[in-house]
Chains A and B, each alone.
Chain A
Amino acid sequence: MFILDHLWIIIALPLLGAAINGLLGKNFSKPIVNSVGIGSIALAFLSYVEAVREFSQLSADQIPVTKSYFTWITAGQFKVDFSLQVDQLTIVMLGVVTFVSLLVHVYSTGYMAHEEGYYRFFSYLNLFVFFMLTLVLAANVVLMFVGWEGVGLCSYLLIGFWFLKQSAISAGKKAFITTRIGDFAFTVGILLLFWTFNSVDFAAIFKQAANLQPEAFAPTGVLTAICLLLFSGAIGKSAQLPLYVWLPDAMEGPTPVSALIHAATMVTAGVYMVARMNPLFSRAPFAMFVVALVGALTAFLAATIGLVQTDIKKVLAYSTVSQLGYMFLGLGVGAYASGVFHLMTHAFFKGLLFLAAGSVIHAMGGDQEMPHMGGLRNKIPITFWCMFIATFAIAGIPGFAGFFSKDEILEAARSGPNANIWLWLLGLVGAGLTSFYMFRLIFLTFFGKPRYDEHKVHVHESPYNMTVPLILLAILSTVGGWVAAPHLVGRTDYFEKFLHPVFATYAPAIAEGAPEAMETPGMMLLHALTGWPVLIALAGLLVAWWFYIKSPQTPKKLAESLRAPYTLLLHKYYVDELYNAAIIQPLLWISTNVLWHVVDETVIDGTVNGVARVARESGSELREIQSGNARSYATWVVIGAVGVTVLMIGLWGMVR
């Protein structure tokens, strides 16, 4: 039980790496930086493996393992320990984080090889991993919030990694500020949590929540409020409507960053949080519905925007947003396990997609525009095949990871405990769109004739330290979903079984409606394989093939004929412009004309200067007393003594 007793090791390793690289790395040669950066993460991964081994030996009642190391804050009854916990959910998240980040680190050694501030990049990455692990391992909300903010910080730093590029800087700021809006709500949620439950420890909160019947909260609706606030934090962090706008811009950062932070781990923090808080959400049906709705809408709209993007990374970004939407949809309809499952698979194939895209960009010498590509399939076969597999996975073609998870989610949306047919429809259409724009991406990039200048751009396959991670991830994207295979034949899949304690322990008792008309496994398998999701995915594939292989001029004609919606999509529904007009400008105006010129200059400065002036003038009057003549001082002393004596004798009557 070494690792489980000393969970802090897992956190400490990346922090150590970050410290070493960040403080001393300037003079290190690349190999040293690599060994430090990758080494720390590799060790963290190993200790994770060890943790899994130890975890597997635990009996059910020993879970979750909670270790409190020291008291961090104490104020009245508000007491926060630095305590970490491990349960099944944590195990899953830990695996995703440590593994993907390890691969990304390896990948970065190739991708960032020629960049300035190499050591800086790696120390940032390690720092990010540290905060992400803190977020995942935290046993109370406050510590979780620390990780939450920390990953935000690291994402800001990494988006603005090329801080000489104006766009990068502003993108970083945008990400930070947009997220902050959600974080504010999240903070309020935490305070409300403490105010309600008098504790910030998950265990305590859940126990109380489980004991209190939902009716107890119903009149005040405080539980719903808490959930909505927390979910607002999730909206900011995992880029849901209406706060998704920062994610596409975040693509200004280096591609590995996009892969790790903005696809695999950080953006899924919201999902993790909601899953972690499931005992509360399960008791707030309205909040659940909101989650599901937001998820479904995001999934759909982001997909639509993705249709027309030409920047390869932008497409992936929007697809990420929509996939996150799916996850929330899953959570919202009560299929927590499915949501988390999709989180995992998505981490694999979306990470793979980004890395592959990075490899493509690498090959193209930094060009990200799909219209300039084409026909790369033979030039960079490994990248091509990996990306192809990933596309199959995300599109939900049977047999690949994405298929299982997405299918489960849609299944739950259709026939789950709190299913909603409209949400299911949205999700379904979104799935079709997904497969369409993904294959569009593939066809535009790898098929057809090269549209770039052969002489200028020398396309070349990436080095091994970039391709090996791709291959590993490709394998996972293929087989990663099979743990859920039994679901197809109506059994509970292994993944769900594994996660079951987390979501069942405090789950509210719901009268299980008798499952209608059990079918034979064979029939179910058939249904699953010929179900709506599969069909619509294939449809999307076909349409994409028709548009971009068979008759490439069709899209233009379509765009001509449907100009209005096309431009609408092209400009992402003018959301940025809307926000700019509706929020940013008024805010600027207020802060300039009211806060700055009125409040700051007149009120605050006025007060301060006034105080100073009063002090100065009174001082220039009073200094006359400082005559430098000690006899006067003596007289003052005597005056004081007389005063005291008069007080004591006359007023306080101490004589008698």
Chain B
Amino acid sequence: MSIVPISYYLVLSAVLFGLGIIAFVVKRNIITIFMAIELMLNAVNLAFVAFARAHNQLDGLVFVFFVIVVAAAESAVGLAIIITVYQNRQTLNLERINLLKF
């Protein structure tokens, strides 16, 4: 039973990361942009797991674990912030939330 080369996984993670960046730049909805960030995190996680697999070490997996946990915390706070913003501005369009400028 042959093994899928690690580089495949790396390429996939790179592609997903790039897509995440594109989404990050292209989308206007705050929540969606937030999702783009999560997507990037996932891509990085994939790379982590792949490397851990490559070197037969568990540290990569532990890191993924931590990344997931931190992402959970981050999304909790972030969504709370988004809710507050929405209550104040009645919009989710990032381009309409531009008070903080020169």
Give every chain A residue within 8 A of B94 (Cβ-Cβ).
629-631
Evaluate contact between B98 and A629: CB separation under 8 angstroms: yes
**Interchain nearest-CB distance for B54 vs A (Å):** 18
Are B25 and A629 neighbours in the complex by a CB distance under 8 Å?
no
CA distance in complex: A638, B20 (Å): 11
Query: What distance in Å separates the Cβ of B28 from its nearest Cβ neighbour in chain A?
Result: 7
A477 vs B25: C-alpha distance in the bound complex, in angstroms? Answer: 97
* In the complex, chain B residues 15-53 whose Cβ is within 8 Å of any chain A Cβ: 21, 24-25, 28, 33
**Interface pair A628/B99, CB less than 8 Å apart:** yes
By the criterion CB–CB under 8 Å, are B25 and A626 in contact?
A: no
Residue of A nearest to B36 (CB): A634
A641-B98 Cα distance, complex, nearest whole Å:
24
Indicate which residue in A628, A631, A641 contacts B100 across the interface (CB closer than 8 Å).
A628
B95 near A629 with CB under 8 A, answer: yes
Partner pick for A631 among B25, B99, B101, B102, CB 8 A cutoff: B25
Q: Which residues of A contact B101 (CB under 8 A)?
A: 626-629
Using A623-B102, A624-B102 as known contacts, say yes or no to A630 and B21 having CB atoms under 8 A apart: no
Find chain B residues with CB under 8 A from A638 CB: 21, 24-25
Any A CB within 8 A of the CB of B97: yes
Residue of A nearest to B26 (CB): A631
Residues of B within 8 Å of A626, CB to CB, are 101-102
> B21: shortest Cβ distance to chain A, in Å?
6
Is there a chain B Cβ closer than 8 Å to A618's Cβ?
no
How far is A641 from B102 in the complex, measured between Cα atoms in Å? 25
Q: CB distance A631 to B21 under 8 Å?
A: no
| Shortest Cβ gap from A523 to chain B (Å) | 102
- A635 interface hit (Cβ, 8 Å): yes
Q: How far is the CA of A638 from the CA of B28 in the complex (A)?
A: 16
A642's nearest neighbour on chain B, judged by CB, is B21
- Are the CB atoms of B98 and A628 closer together than 8 Å? yes
Closest chain-A Cβ to B13's Cβ sits at a distance in Å of 15
Interface residues on A, range: 10 to 19
Within 8 A of B (CB), among A630-656: 630-631, 634-635, 638, 641
The 8 A CB mask of B64-94 against A (1 = contact, 0 = none) is 0000000000000000000000000000001
Shortest B96–chain A CB gap in Å is: 10
Smallest CB separation, A175 vs chain B (Å):
58
0/1 string, A44-66, CB within 8 A of B gives 1: 00000000000000000000000
Contact B25 A630 (CB under 8 A): no
Q: In whole angstroms, what is the CA distance A631 to B30 when docked?
A: 10
A634 to B101, CA, bound (A): 15
Question: With A and B bound together, what is the CA distance between A635 and B95 in angstroms?
Answer: 13
Q: A624 to chain B: which residues have CB within 8 Å?
A: 102
A625: shortest Cβ distance to chain B, in Å? 9
Name the A residues within 8 Å of B24 (CB-CB).
634, 638
A634 partner residues in chain B, CB cutoff 8 A: 24-25, 33
Chain A positions 7 through 27: 1 when the CB is less than 8 Å from some CB of chain B, otherwise 0? 000000000000000000000
Residues of B within 8 A of A635 (CB): 25
C-alpha spacing A641/B18, complex, angstroms? 11
Closest residue on chain B to residue A619 by CB atoms: B102
Q: Which of A577-627 contact B (CB under 8 A)?
A: 623-624, 626-627
Specify the chain B residue showing the minimal Cβ separation from A620: B102
Closest residue of chain A to B22 (Cβ to Cβ) is A638
Complex CA–CA separation, A636 to B84 (angstroms): 26
Cα-based distance from A458 to B51 in the complex (angstroms): 106
Closest chain-A Cβ to B17's Cβ sits at a distance in Å of: 10
Return A510 CB to nearest CB of chain B, in Å: 81
Chain B, Cβ-Cβ closest to A624: B102
Expressed in whole angstroms, the minimum distance between the Cβ of B43 and any Cβ of chain A is: 14
Tell me how far the C-beta of B89 lies from the nearest C-beta in chain A, rounded to whole angstroms: 13
Within 8 A of B (CB), among A70-119: none
Cα-based distance from A634 to B33 in the complex (angstroms):
10
Q: Please, how many angstroms separate the alpha-carbon atoms of A634 and B102 in the complex?
A: 17
Q: How far is the CB of A88 from chain B (nearest CB, A)?
A: 74
- Known contacts A624-B102, A631-B28: does B21 contact A641 (CB below 8 Å)? yes
Closest A residue, CB atoms, query B94: A630
Q: What's the minimum C-beta distance from A250 to chain B, rounded to whole angstroms?
A: 62
Closest Cβ of chain A to B22, distance in Å, is 9
B98, A627: Cβ atoms under 8 Å?
yes
Complex Cα–Cα for A638 and B26 (A): 12
- Docked pose: A532 CA to B4 CA in angstroms: 118
Chain A residue at minimal CB-CB distance from B30: A630
In the bound complex, residues from chain B placing their C-beta under 8 Å from that of A629 are 94-95, 98, 101
Q: Which residues of A contact B25 (CB under 8 A)?
A: 631, 634-635, 638
Contacts of A631 in B (CB 8 A): 25, 28, 94-95
- What does the 1/0 interface line of A302-344 toward B look like (CB < 8 Å)? 0000000000000000000000000000000000000000000
Q: How far is the CA of A631 from the CA of B98 in the complex (A)?
A: 10
Interchain nearest-CB distance for B34 vs A (Å): 12
CA distance A629 to B93 in the complex (A): 10
Q: CA A572 – CA B101 in complex, angstroms?
A: 74
Q: Which residue in chain B gives the minimum CB-CB distance to A628?
A: B101
Bound CA–CA A638/B21 (angstroms): 8
Query: Within the assembled complex, what's the spacing in Å between the Cα atoms of A628 and B89?
Result: 15
Report the separation of the CA atoms of residues A416 and B67 in the bound assembly, to the nearest whole angstrom: 91
Residues of A contacting B95 in the complex (Cβ-Cβ under 8 angstroms):
629-631
A502 to chain B minimum Cβ distance, whole angstroms, is 73
Q: Give the one of B24, B97, B98, B102 with max A CB within 10 A.
A: B102
Complex-state Cα separation, A371 to B56, whole angstroms? 109
A131-157: contact bitstring with B at CB < 8 Å (1 yes, 0 no)? 000000000000000000000000000
Q: What are 20 residue pairs bridging A and B, where the CB atoms are less than 8 Å apart in the complex?
A: A624-B102, A627-B98, A627-B101, A628-B98, A628-B99, A628-B100, A628-B101, A629-B94, A629-B95, A629-B98, A630-B94, A630-B95, A630-B97, A630-B98, A631-B94, A631-B95, A634-B24, A634-B33, A635-B25, A641-B21
The 5 closest A-B pairs by CB, nearest first: A628-B101, A628-B98, A623-B102, A626-B102, A630-B94
Known: A629-B98, A631-B94, A638-B21. 8 other contacts (CB 8 A): A623-B102, A626-B101, A628-B102, A629-B94, A629-B95, A630-B97, A630-B98, A634-B33
